[in-house]
Amino acid sequence: MESPFKSDILHGKVALITGGGSGIGFEISTQYGKHGASVAIMGRRKAVLDSAVSALQSLGIPAVGFEGDVRKQEDAKRVVESTVKHFGRLDILVNAAAGNFLVSAEDLSPNGFRTVMDIDTVGTFTMCHEALNYLKKGGKGRSSSNGGMILNISATLHYTAAWYQIHVSAAKAAVDALARNLALEWGADYDIRVNGIAPGPISDTPGMSKLVPDEIESKAREYMPLYKLGDKWDIAMAALYLASDAGKYVNGATLVVDGGLWLSRPRHLSKEAVKQLSRAVEKRSRDAPVGVPKRSKL
């Protein structure tokens, strides 16, 4: 689908995207590149990074890949520094790297819980921390008045509760807290905007195939208000809006892009049934004898 945005809205910007080699992270990398940004992607798997970089370059996007694990501070530091060395500056950090699997709370070991917290929450904080010096106003290659921006890929699981996702719910709740607190502190001190996007189920992503395997996908669709999955493109368009000047006053927000799914509840009655029931209840209440209130003795 064609982007509704002008192709130069990120002209001259440099973006570093963790988890940028696949899924939502790759689509954000592609759309940022198509709208003028130079793109560095970070990931653990060299082969995935290599093919993603070739795909970006074949679109004419200046792109580079750096191997690294967001759980390791030395990797975070090295990748941020390498990005600035390669492109001269850093304007946008997207934290899209995440870990997930379905597991009941009782079957999840504390180490499994910690692993997801380490990737999603501590990893996001570590990347932000290492990028601060370059994103802040007056940072390398930046003017003394304009800071950069951070975008975290979150989720909606923790708005209510989610089956078999206690680890990710906890991790993403913390990621949203990071966005708000950094928006406050770094917005005030350094002119850095920090926001999030909370995607719903997005087709053709590693998250989707792990959390909603084919075996249950068609059933899952029945519960969605728009009766369809989102596309990676939907998330990338939101990411473009937030990174561009169109989003320059948005700070500390997490934009839900889920087709209204997190609001949804199973429909217990059909529309026709509720119409009939409602009429019957109304008729009963109108026909009921009106009781005369007893006079107070006071």
Closest by Cα among 128, 132, 137, 255 to 190: 137
Question: For residues 112 and 187, which CB has a smaller minimum distance to ligand COA in the complex?
Answer: 112
Sheet architecture: strand order including 14-18: 63-67, 38-43, 14-18, 92-95, 149-153, 193-199, 254-257
Q: With contact defined as beta carbons under 8 Å apart, do 187 and 252 qualify?
A: yes
Of these, 55, 103, 170, 173, which contacts ligand COA (CB under 6 A)? 103
Collapsing DSSP to helix, strand or coil, 229 comes out as coil
- Amino acid identity for residue 220 in this structure: A
Of these, 58, 109, 218, 296, which contacts ligand COA (CB under 6 A)? 109
CB 70 to ligand COA: min, Å: 11
CB 210 to ligand COA: min, Å: 5
User: Is residue 115 within the footprint of ligand COA (CB under 6 A)?
Assistant: yes
Question: For residues 155 and 240, which CB has a smaller minimum distance to ligand COA in the complex?
Answer: 155
Of these, 210, 248, 275, 279, which contacts ligand COA (CB under 6 A)? 210
Candidates 29-37, 58-66, 112-120, 213-221: pick the segment binding ligand COA (CB under 6 A): 112-120
Q: With contact defined as beta carbons under 8 Å apart, do 254 and 197 qualify?
A: yes
Q: Site size for ligand COA, by CB under 6 A?
A: 14
3-state helix, strand, coil in the chain (%, to 5): 50, 15, 40
Candidates 57-65, 101-109, 264-272, 278-286: pick the segment binding ligand COA (CB under 6 A): 101-109
Candidates 1-9, 110-118, 212-220, 252-260: pick the segment binding ligand COA (CB under 6 A): 110-118
Q: Residue 127 has which token pair? A: 């990347």
- Amino acid identity for residue 255 in this structure: L
The residue written with tokens 């053709």 in the block is 204
Q: Tell me which residues touch ligand COA (CB under 6 A).
A: 98-101, 103, 108-109, 111-112, 115-116, 206-207, 210
